[in-house]
Amino acid sequence: MEKVLELISKEVGDAFEAAGYDRELGRATVSNRPDLCEYQCNGAMAGAKKYGKAPFIIADEVAARLQDNPAFEKVESVKPGFLNIILSGDFVRNYIVKMLHEKRFGVTLPGHEPTIILDYGGANVAKPLHVGHLRPAIIGEAVKRILKYNGNKVIGDIHMGDWGTQMGLVITELKCRHPELPYFDPDFEGPFPKEPPFTIEELAEIYPAASAKSKAADDASEEEKKAAKEYKAAALDATKRMQEGYKPYRAIWHHIMNVSLPDLKKNYDSLDVHFDLWKGESDVHDDIPGMVEYFKQHDYAHESQGALVVDVADEKDAKEMPPCIILKSDGAALYATTDLATIQERMKEYHPDGIYYFTDKRQALHFEQVFRTAKKTKLVMPETDLRFVGNGTMNGADGKPFKTRAGGVMHLETLVQEINDKMYERVKASNPDMPDDEARSTANKVALSALKYGDLSNQPAKDYIFDIEKFTSFEGDTGPYILYTMVRIKSILKKFEAEGGNVKEAKLGNPENEAMKNLMLLLTRFADAVEGAAKDLAPNRVCAYIYDLSNAFNSFYHGTKILAETDEYKKESYIALISTTLKILETCIDLLGFSAPERM
């Protein structure tokens, strides 16, 4: 469906052409002076030089030709040569009615369905999920939904860190605690027990304990430093043996995975974040030797100080671009190696048109090296769209990365619990009669909106301060404010139906007042917001849009008697308008990854 701006530009372009000028000059924009007009066109200013005429003369001529155009209520030429445009009520109403009949409210869908893989969980198995993993999950999930809505085939992959040193640390600590287990008896022939040797609670405690033991503080005694060094060496050795396929350690690896995955799923579910693929670094382990061989055969990789590297620097680089290290001098594969093997596997399995990665922006250099290597070594096509969406940090009130009150790393579960509890208090306070289980589930929904909107309303790359008071407030640019607006609409619609009205049958009329017109204008901009968000991978565009839309609705609501309106035609029109507003808000929050309760 053509956008409002395109339709206006066409009409104004026709007028330029009819007056003897280039029709391209008719390009309109949203007004930057909403107090004066809704849209504007500065084409007369741009054409003045070419046609050797004063801009206001051109603008006058064009405006004269638009006076009887039914699309406009008013087209005014103002000095020095602007065209100020106000749309007609008819035009705006017809546009919305048409939008409601379109698939996806008029979002332009591509001719073919591009396949995009999104890599956005990044959780590390055996380590607790902490707030650092929150932003990639929230942003990635929103982008996944936005791209899908815009007609892409999207595959979300969690890409777990499930092959690293943390596995060796857990094995080593387990051996310290339970040397009697069969995994540590070199003579044991198997089969190994089916029951895992730890619970999730134990595992959650084992990793931090092991990690602490592998490090010694600067002021530690020589003896302590030696012990830490030995412990770490043992963990690295265990990791290596596990990776090489030593059966007892592979068996422990399976236990770690089996115990961790349900817990990870539970955590992501609580955030309404869902993956199509639960793959990880381990999945490509066996592909690495073949890929390395291929790099060598084609001379893409060469040896440098004992390591195997691919040069990726370009003469146009403003900053130094170090080579991408494929194998360390001891032959070990690295983070980049795994990412490259994963790209190779993804191309083979899914033939994606693009792969987009969501992690902390401090990984930008890593991904730049990986992308360049992938292109250079032809693991991907020249046109494969590899993109990195680096997120900024979620900070505490002190401006430093968010911590627990005690100063430790904040676990995701704890954070979600805290915000749920906070919201529960608020919901209970404003609805003392609400049954407890409804209050709980309402609170969880509103809390999720607070958390996600608080995050997504910022550009992904920006750091932001997590302010629980602000994020959970029912007023201001917050998730709960949006939900509150929706709940308000739902309650009006319910009353209307209770009084015998039929929401579905209600017909939208022309705007009756300025607030109504404003709300209608915002509704016409839905597709622009959603398409813009997809193009720039910027869910913040959807947030900004629904904040404006909610404000426009609330101004209308405060200035208009809806249910008390005695003119039935007007009343129906108001109902049609607010139910459309609700539909659009519902669609948008679903794209952002949260939902609204019935009341709050």
Residue range at the interface with ligand ARG (CB under 6 A); choices 77-85, 116-124, 234-242, 557-565: 116-124
| Binding residues for ligand ARG restricted to 388-427, rule: CB under 6 A | none
Residue linked to tokens 């990854």: 593
User: Least distance to ligand ARG from the beta carbon of 162, Å?
Assistant: 9
Q: Residues 523-542: x/- map of binding to ligand ARG (CB under 6 A)?
A: --------------------
DSSP annotation of 410 reads P
Whole-angstrom Cα distance, residue 156 to residue 135? Answer: 15
Q: Is 572 in the site for ligand ARG (CB under 6 A)?
A: no
Whole-angstrom Cα distance, residue 309 to residue 369? Answer: 11
Please report the beta strands in 476-545, taking only residues with DSSP state E, as ranges in sequence order.
none
How crowded is the C-beta side of 203, counted as CA atoms within 13 Å?
Answer: 25
For the chain, the farthest-separated pair of C-alpha atoms sits apart, in whole angstroms, at: 97
User: Least distance to ligand ARG from the beta carbon of 452, Å?
Assistant: 20
Q: Residues 157-176: x/- map of binding to ligand ARG (CB under 6 A)?
A: --x-x---------------
Return the number of the residue (341 or 576) whose C-beta is nearest ligand ARG: 341
Residue range at the interface with ligand ARG (CB under 6 A); choices 119-127, 443-451, 473-481, 493-501: 119-127
Strand, coil or helix: 596 = coil
Q: Is 357 in the site for ligand ARG (CB under 6 A)?
A: yes
Q: Is 122 in the site for ligand ARG (CB under 6 A)?
A: yes
| Binding residues for ligand ARG restricted to 316-345, rule: CB under 6 A | 339
Distances (CA, A) of 366 to 295, 316, 321, 335: 19, 18, 10, 9
Report how many residues bind ligand ARG under the rule CB under 6 A: 8
User: Is beta strand 394-395 parallel, antiparallel or unpaired with respect to 464-465?
Assistant: parallel
Return the number of the residue (359 or 420) whose C-beta is nearest ligand ARG: 359
Q: Is 352 in the site for ligand ARG (CB under 6 A)?
A: no
Q: Residues 352, 317: contact at Cβ < 8 Å?
A: no
User: Least distance to ligand ARG from the beta carbon of 374, Å?
Assistant: 12
Q: Which residues face 409 on adjacent strands? A: 403
Dihedrals phi, psi of 387, to nearest 5 degrees? -135, 145
User: Least distance to ligand ARG from the beta carbon of 166, Å?
Assistant: 10
Tokens in use for 304? 């440098």
Q: Residues 173-192: x/- map of binding to ligand ARG (CB under 6 A)?
A: --------------------
User: Least distance to ligand ARG from the beta carbon of 55, Å?
Assistant: 53
DSSP annotation of 395 reads E
Q: Is 359 in the site for ligand ARG (CB under 6 A)?
A: yes
DSSP annotation of 195 reads S
Q: Is 140 in the site for ligand ARG (CB under 6 A)?
A: no
Return the number of the residue (143 or 427) whose C-beta is nearest ligand ARG: 143
Please name the residues in contact with 123: beta carbons below 8 A apart, sequence gap of 6 or more. Answer: 129, 133, 158, 160, 161, 264, 268
* Cβ burial, residue 509 (10 Å; 0-12/13-18/19+): middle
Q: Is 119 in the site for ligand ARG (CB under 6 A)?
A: yes
Q: Where on the chain is the footprint of ligand ARG (CB under 6 A)?
A: 119, 122, 124, 159, 161, 339, 357, 359
